[in-house]
Amino acid sequence: MRFFFLLVFLLPLFLHSQNIEIVPAPARVEIKEGFFNYSKGLGIKMDEADEESTAIMSRFANQLFTTKRFKVPPVTNAENKIVLQLLSPNSNSSNDESYRIRISPDSVLIQSHSHRGLSYGCQSVVQLFINSPLTNQIVAAEINDFPQYKWRGMELDVCRHFFSKEIVKQYIDILAQLKMNVFHWHLTDDQGWRIEIKKYPKLTEVGAWRIEKDGRKYGGFYSQEDIKEIVLYATERYVTIVPELELPGHSSAAIAAYPELSCIPNEAKTIPNTWGIKKDIYCPSDFSFQFMRDVLDEVCKLFPGKFIHLGGDEAPKAAWKESSVAQDLIKKEHLKNEEELQHYFLKKMEDYLATKNKRAIGWGEIVKGGLSDSVVVMSWLSKHAGVKATEHGNQAIMTPRLFCYFDYPQRITDKRGAWYMTNLSLRKVYHFNPNAKSLSPEKQKLILGGQANVWTEHIANEKELRHQIMPRLAAMSEALWSKHEQKSFQNFKRRAKSISRD
């Protein structure tokens, strides 16, 4: 009987030591006999290295050094080594993000058919070393891993509060560690325009700076050189940046710089120092269309990714109702109303992006005025707009605010936030599922994935930002990467401890 109790108490400890401590949880794990022991040191080796895989290897060695103080020199000998192996491209594989790790007593082998997969394998191995409860060893195992969703995104609003180039890079680091693959960079809004556009210098000379209620000048922006540096940084870490240039609403900062963009004449144009939805939006005029085309010319050159986000949310139409420019265009184009006019505006820009081999994304509200075939809908108020989009045959990304808005407080006791924010617990994020049960399996395939958003009206600095995202981002990464049928919140919480400590 005593033995039985001992077993009951000791078994979980034993199992714990055998656990594979990776976030997001891998698709398949098989624990094997024995341990990889590195008490005598650790070396690293690349089979058939090309330039890109050599870069992956040196970042990996650096990461092991900075997180564990491991020196991981390149080796040729057979002992205590980590081997990275890029396999020949697999034409049968539908998932170019997959990887395999084989841990045996004398080596750790990381294999993938793609550089991206190889890099993800390295991220998993870093976590295994950090989290192993054993001294100088990790348990032998085979891990076969691949994500459930293609789009695993995280947004950052740098307009309401500005975050420096260094903080943006740290943000990208955290995304990369959790195998998130999209950084949605919200670069323009009412309270600040944050990207240098050479053809319109006042966008940043004027539009990047607001006067706060206490008289302080507040703002900042990224030069095109900064943007290039950040894009390269993200690309090296297999994170694609999707820039967002809001239209037609959330555009007071641009209008303050170039008042010709507005339909409301003779009104002092200032950059608001208050939050909320503003009535002054881009006028659907030739000037505005040309302005947006010029901005997109420069933006498309800076960002190599396929997608450009064009906003489309929270655009009140009162100014258009009273504008002869807007009303004349509605008549000329035989449009029903201002919502269709917004669709006309967006479609014009979407077609322009198509000439540059780019695709547009818009917030859920864009379904109101009619959808073009190629636009991707980002559903934020709920999943409803995303479902409507897929019914129409469009792709969608789910980011319903009650599950995905990381500016909302984590705990009831958190003071930061606003009246419209409900509590968003770690558990709730963990159980987020981008799928909509009402959709047929065919339509569900149109849901690319999901993302978390961080609006920064109430997040003023790096410390507050970190508090809002961790550990919820770890839960989001698992919601988007791991199989829903295999998930366990208790198990996740234990694994996430080391992530949130980081």
Site for ligand ACM, rule CB under 6 A: 313-314, 363, 380
Q: Do residues 385 and 402 touch, judged by C-beta distance below 8 A?
A: no
Q: How far is the CB of 380 from ligand ACM (least distance, A)?
A: 4
Q: How far is the CB of 342 from ligand ACM (least distance, A)?
A: 15
Q: How far is the CB of 148 from ligand ACM (least distance, A)?
A: 24
Closest to 183 (Cα-Cα) out of 299, 307, 362? 307
Q: Which C-beta is closer to ligand ACM: that of 26 or that of 312?
A: 312
- Length of the chain in residues, anyone? 502
Q: Which C-beta is closer to ligand ACM: that of 146 or that of 408?
A: 408
Q: Which C-beta is closer to ligand ACM: that of 395 or that of 482?
A: 395
Which residue of the set 142, 314, 340, 457 is catalytic? 314
The CA distance from 93 to 99, in Å, is: 11
Which residue of the set 145, 189, 338, 365 is catalytic? 189
Residue listed under structure tokens 């864009």: 366
Whether residue 250 lies in the annotated active site: yes
Q: Which C-beta is closer to ligand ACM: that of 121 or that of 249?
A: 249
Helix axes 338-355, 286-302, angle to 10 degrees: 40
Q: Which C-beta is closer to ligand ACM: that of 143 or that of 371?
A: 371
Q: Which C-beta is closer to ligand ACM: that of 380 or that of 406?
A: 380
Whether residue 309 lies in the annotated active site: no
Q: Do residues 388 and 329 touch, judged by C-beta distance below 8 A?
A: no
Q: How far is the CB of 452 from ligand ACM (least distance, A)?
A: 12
The CA distance from 409 to 451, in Å, is: 17
Whether residue 431 lies in the annotated active site: no
Q: How far is the CB of 377 from ligand ACM (least distance, A)?
A: 12
Tokens matching residue 167: 């903080």
CA distances from 226 to 198, 218, 223 (A): 14, 19, 5
Give per-residue burial for 271-298: e unless 16+ CB within 10 Å, then b. Answer: bbeeeeebebbbbbbeebbebbeebbeb
Q: Which C-beta is closer to ligand ACM: that of 231 or that of 447?
A: 447
The CA distance from 224 to 244, in Å, is: 15
The CA distance from 464 to 415, in Å, is: 12
The CA distance from 91 to 56, in Å, is: 23
Could you say which DSSP state residue 79 is in? S
| Phi–psi pair at 414, nearest 5 degrees | -65, 135
The CA distance from 101 to 31, in Å, is: 12
Q: How far is the CB of 31 from ligand ACM (least distance, A)?
A: 43
Q: How far is the CB of 429 from ligand ACM (least distance, A)?
A: 17
Closest to 39 (Cα-Cα) out of 171, 132, 155? 132
Supply the DSSP string of 356-371, one letter for each residue: TT-EEEEEGGGGGG--
CA distances from 54 to 57, 85, 99, 113, 479 (A): 5, 11, 17, 15, 31
Gyration radius of the chain over CA positions: 25
Q: Which C-beta is closer to ligand ACM: that of 173 or that of 313?
A: 313
Q: How far is the CB of 16 from ligand ACM (least distance, A)?
A: 41
Closest residue to ligand ACM using C-beta atoms: 313
Q: Do residues 337 and 351 touch, judged by C-beta distance below 8 A?
A: no
Q: Which residues are catalytic?
A: 189, 250, 314
